[in-house]
Structure 1
Amino acid sequence: MQTLKRVSVALIASTFMALTMQCGIASAKDPKIDIGYVDNGLNLSASQWTRDPATGSFTPFVEGSSAGSDDPNQYLADTHCRADGPDTKDPGCDALECPATATGGEEGTPVIWKESPKAITNPGWTDWIPVSGPTCLYDPEPENVLANIAARILTDFRQLPINPGTLEAQPFPHTLKGGPTNFYTTAAEQAFDLTILGQTVHLTATPANHSYSFGDGTTLGPTPATGYPIPETEWLSNQTRTSHIYTNTGNYPATLTTNFTGTYSVNNGPPLPINGTLDITTPAKTIHVWKTEKALVADTCQENPNSWGCPGAETR
């Protein structure tokens, strides 16, 4: 008689990630997917994930919920490492070696990420289709490693050397009172590869919103608008979405705060959302606001360097 086997795989819900990051404690009641042989085949049941097709973020699937309605699939990480059923093991699992990453450490466990139609509330083994893997999970209890990473991922995210980009202005460093000054940012998406709890974690930081502070008490945002450079011939006439008009002369320290969101994947798994964001402010950039005056002069600056309006001439 064939020996029955049973493997438990922990999936992470966003509500669980919020709880573990606040409390720093993994609950024994975390949602699990149970995969095991029963008399009538392979039995699977538990909460699943859904993915937002626009952002790639994963959220818990709740029966009757509209969340993630554009994505017809739900997802799991299968430590059973089988591709097409209980009798067909993925050949990559046999070929995959998961040696210990440290002296005296434990070997890893091969897993495969799979998807199934979300409309199936209790998928059978034939409903799950491999989408990524096989890959290794390293943990004495591999079913817990994803939950443990989720509990600390926000802290790791906020310690990354993320480049906030720069705040640019046109014209700069001098601009004119009453005229448009065009501001824009060079903030961009950035990727990082980390090792967390012995796992390879790929993390992506994406600029989501920007808050412009023009130094004269006025602000713009938060807004997704990054702005863009314009030709010099348009500096005094083209008012962009991120332009600002200074109403008084003076020197103003302008700054930009960019709000970054993040996703992470563990050992080439699907991208999971980081439950929290990171705000980074650029160093201040001083904008010198001048005013214009008109006057009639008798000669040019070449003819008379001390003539009104010439560089270095005394103000009259």
Structure 2
Amino acid sequence: MRDPDAFYPGSRTREEWLAECAFDQACGGATITPGGAPLPGTEQAEQQPAEPAPAPAAPDPTTATIEDVAEFAPDPPQVVGEPDGIGVVGMPTNFVVDATEHTVTGDIFDIPVTVRFTPVSYVFDYGDGTRRETTSPGTSWQDLDVPQFTATDTSHSYGEPGEYEVGVTIRYAAEADAGGGWFPIAGLLELTAPTTVIRIVDVDTALVERTCAEDPSGPGC
């Protein structure tokens, strides 16, 4: 049964909200829970100015935006290039960034809360003018149980040898719980991981009569 205290934009479930807001920041806004403080600018005008002004509304963490929780964000993870930071011209180089769900406690408007950041999309910058956005942080060839130089969702093939600085921007959706259930935080938080240098080399192949094990002094050995 859905948590009655958890409200997501457009009557989405949490899973729907995380999936749909990965590429559409317009749907990342928070919905005010019943009884919560009104959004700024939506308060009704005072009809009887002679009466005492109502007491200020208590701080409401459900009105928080991504800027209010940015201080709780995780440290940007490092992007790794396979195999071992070296690639081959014309063959896939695999990239993986270790971004995971991050939960931390703190205060929003002086109210204790638990904040949860979930990575929802990744923008890989391969350093040669090519960028790719994906919902996957990448998976190592070993974990995929595939041979090296297999194309993956986050791999890239370079056309020229050289050294390239590769980075990734991670987009996080945020939620908070002030004791009454999780609610979404308006907006997406973008964190840029430190770049890593990948060296791309040109490899020439030739048919030889014997392997290097058989003839250590042979061509290319």
Q: Does 1:210 align with 2:128?
A: no
Q: Measured at CA, do residues 177 and 191 of structure 1 come closer, stay the same or move farther in structure 2, by a change above 3 Å?
A: same
**Cα shift at 1:76:** 3.2
* Structure 2 CA distance for aligned equivalents of residues 173 and 182 of structure 1: 9
Determine whether 1:144 maps to 2:58.
yes
Q: 1:292 to 1:233 in 2, by over 3 A?
A: farther
Seen in structure 2, the aligned counterparts of structure 1 residues 298 and 182 have a Cα distance that, compared at 3 Å, is closer
- Quick check: 1:171 aligned with 2:86? no
Q: Distance in 1 between matches of 2:161 and 2:174?
A: 40
2:41 paired residue number: none
User: Alignment RMSD, CA only?
Assistant: 3.5
**Counterparts of 2:213 and 2:10, CA distance in 1:** 71
Corresponding residue for 1:76? Answer: 34
Show the 5 A alignment for 1:185-196: 185-196=97-108
Cα distance in structure 2, aligned partners of 1:208 and 1:304: 51
Partner of 1:282: 193
Match among 147, 159, 163 for residue 234 of structure 1? 147
- What is the identity percentage for the equivalent residue pairs of Structure 1 and Structure 2? 22
CA deviations on 1:63-105 (whole Å, 9 max, x unpaired) are xxxx9xxxxxx96359xxxxxxxxxxxxxxxxxxxxxxxxxxx
- For 1:220 and 1:198, the matched residues in 2 are separated by 39
Larger RCO (CA within 8 A; separation ≥ 6): 2
- 5+ residue gaps, structure 1, are 1-12, 15-48, 58-66, 68-73, 79-140, 311-316
SS of 2:127 mapped into structure 1: coil
Aligned equivalent of 2:164, options 252, 257, 264: 252
Number of residues of Structure 1 aligned to a counterpart in Structure 2: 182
1:257-268 paired onto structure 2 within 5 Å: 257-266=169-178, 268=179
- 1:182 is aligned to 94
More strand by share: 1
TM-score normalised by structure 2 residue count? 0.68
Structure 2: stretches of 5+ with no match in the other structure: 1-6, 18-26, 37-54
Give the superposition deviation at 1:179: 0.9
Normalising by the residue count of structure 1, what TM-score does the alignment of the two structures yield? 0.49
Offset of residue 56 of structure 1: 8.3
Alignment of 1:295-310 (within 5 A): 295=206, 296=208, 300=212, 309-310=220-221
- One of 72, 76, 84 as aligned partner of 1:160: 72
Distance 1:56 1:202 in 2: 21
Q: d(CA) in 2 for partners of 1:75 and 1:285?
A: 43
Provide the C-alpha distance between the structure 2 equivalents of 1:263 and 1:175, rounded to a whole number of angstroms: 39
Amino acid at match of 1:230: W
